[in-house]
Amino acid sequence: MSLRPPPRIKVLEALGAVVDGRVRQVGEGRCEVVSSEGDRTYRVVVEGEFAYSDDNGTLHRGYVGYPILACLMAEGRLPVDAELGKKLRGIPWRRLNEQYRRYEEVLRHIYAERGIDRQRAEVYINEVLRRLSAMRLKFKKVESS
């Protein structure tokens, strides 16, 4: 099954995980990604065109979840915007998603609160999604060692 592109906000959530130091590479194409609340650790495996993560977006909604994006960023396979990343440090993503209930509202809040240039962020998101689409990732449960 091909994984769908993620909601745009997930690119920023993944970048936040990288700059927060919540992504640990445990082997080639293998990472552990700690949630923004620190209460969950997601296992990620990317092998060739196959990807697996035990986050809800990947498992239950069929899109490339932010842990997969974060792992690909940490490995240098997707771009990292360090300057934008600095503004995304310490964001409680799950709490904001539950509070606002719509990703577009969360984005508005984050852009305003953190002084993020929306146009610049959108250019970055577009580039990440363009490169991700070229990977054509498919879901496959793979063992993480």
- The whole-angstrom separation of Cα 36 and Cα 22 is 8
> Residue 55 — left, alpha, or beta (φ > 0 → left; ψ -120 to 50 → alpha)?
beta
Beta bridge partners of 41: 34
The C-alpha atoms of residue 105 and residue 75 are separated, in whole angstroms, by 30
Does this model's pTM top 0.85?
yes
Backbone angles phi, psi at 46, to 5 degrees: -125, 115
For residue 143, the model assigns a pLDDT of 62
User: Residues 14-52: pLDDT tens digits?
Assistant: 999 999 999 999 999 999 999 999 999 999 999 999 999
Tell me whether strands 138-139 and 50-53 are parallel, antiparallel or unpaired. parallel
Contact of 131 with 68, CB cutoff 8 Å:
no
**pLDDT band of 141, cuts 50, 70, 90:** confident
